[in-house]
Each structure stands twice: as structure tokens, then as C-alpha cells.
Structure 1
Amino acid sequence: MSIMPVLWIVWAGVTAILLVLLAYRGTITRHEEDQIFLDSASDHQQREQTEILAKVGKINPYVNYATGATCLLSACILGMYVWDAVKHLM
């Protein structure tokens, strides 16, 4: 059995996880404000923004790991195809 179908299945799984994480992070940051004018009456807005930043801070390492794994698997798949092409040309 070739290793290529296994690599493709693992790549698809990791990429699906990455897409879910990116969609979730996009959903969380949809309500994030670019600029807030804080006064004593808008403490709830500051708390909301702090909660959003905390959630995004928890998700970012997983997004980075999934991105790195996807890139590494993509390089492995590409390398396997190049190696196979070189073997057939020789």
C-alpha cells in the first residue's frame, strides 16, 4: 500500500480542523471593535473586548499548530510527488 492516500487523508483532516478554527475565530472577532472610547459608563464594553481577546488568545496557538501541520504535510506530499517524478525520469 502506498503512503500517499494516508498522507492525503491526514492532510484533509488537519486542513478541516484549521478551517473550523479559523471560522470560529472569525465568529468571535466579528464583534470586536477597532476603537473604543472608554469612560465610566462603558465598562461593560471594556469587559466584552477583554473577553474576546482572551478567547482569541486561547485559540491562536491551535491555529498556529494547525497551520504549521498543514504546511508541513503539504510539503511532504509535494516532495513525494517530486521524488516519484524524478525516479520515473531516471
Structure 2
Amino acid sequence: MSALPVLLIVWAVFSACFLALLAYKGQLTRYEEDQLFLSDGVPAHSQQMQTEIVRKVTKIAPFVRVFGVAAAIMTAGIIGIFTWDAWQHLR
């Protein structure tokens, strides 16, 4: 049995996790402001909400990087294996 079907399944899992994390991060940052002006008139609740959003995004950032890099490396590996197999069949 070839390793390609197993690699495709593992790649699909990593890619699905990566896309789910990106969707979650996008949902978190949907209403985040680029700038938050703190003054006496701004309620402390706004600052707490922004701080909580930044904390959540910072918490998932390493997972986004790991799953993204893993999916990219596996994509390159699958393309390489497929190309090598096609080259061997052409000879």
C-alpha cells in the first residue's frame, strides 16, 4: 500500500484544523478596533473587551502557525511524492 492515501488523510486533518483556527480568529477580530482611545468618557468595559480579544488571539497564534506550517510542508511533500511517482511511471 502506498503512503499517499495516508498522507492525504493526515493533510486533510491538518488543513481542516488550520482553516477552522483561521475562521475562529477572524470571528474574534471581526469587531476589534485598530485603535482604542482611552479617556474618562470611554467605559472600562470597552478596554476589557479589547484586552480579552487580544488575549484570545495571542493564545491561538502558535496553533495557527503550527497547523499552517504543517499543512504547507505536507502539501509540498504530497506534491513531491506525486511528481516522483508520475516521473517513475513515465520512464
TM-score range, shorter chain: over 0.9
**Secondary structure of 1:40 counterpart:** coil
Q: TM-score, normalised by structure 1?
A: 0.92
Aligned residue number for residue 35 of structure 1 = 35
More displaced stretch, 3-12 vs 34-43? 34-43
Question: In the TM superposition, what is the alpha-carbon distance from 1:22 to its structure 2 partner?
Answer: 0.7
Aligned residue number for residue 55 of structure 1 = 56
Number of matched residues?
Answer: 90
Aligned-pair identity in percent equals 50
Aligned residue number for residue 22 of structure 1 = 22
The runs of 5 or more residues in structure 2 that have no matched partner are none
- Aligned partners of 1:82 and 1:65: how far apart in 2? 25
- Aligned partners of 1:72 and 1:36: how far apart in 2? 38
Aligned residue number for residue 73 of structure 1 = 74
- Aligned partners of 1:15 and 1:52: how far apart in 2? 24
- Aligned partners of 2:45 and 2:14: how far apart in 1? 37
Q: TM-score, normalised by structure 2?
A: 0.91
Residue 14 of structure 2 aligns to which amino acid in structure 1?
V
Query: RMSD over aligned Cα, in angstroms?
Result: 1.1
The runs of 5 or more residues in structure 1 that have no matched partner are none
- Aligned partners of 2:85 and 2:48: how far apart in 1? 56
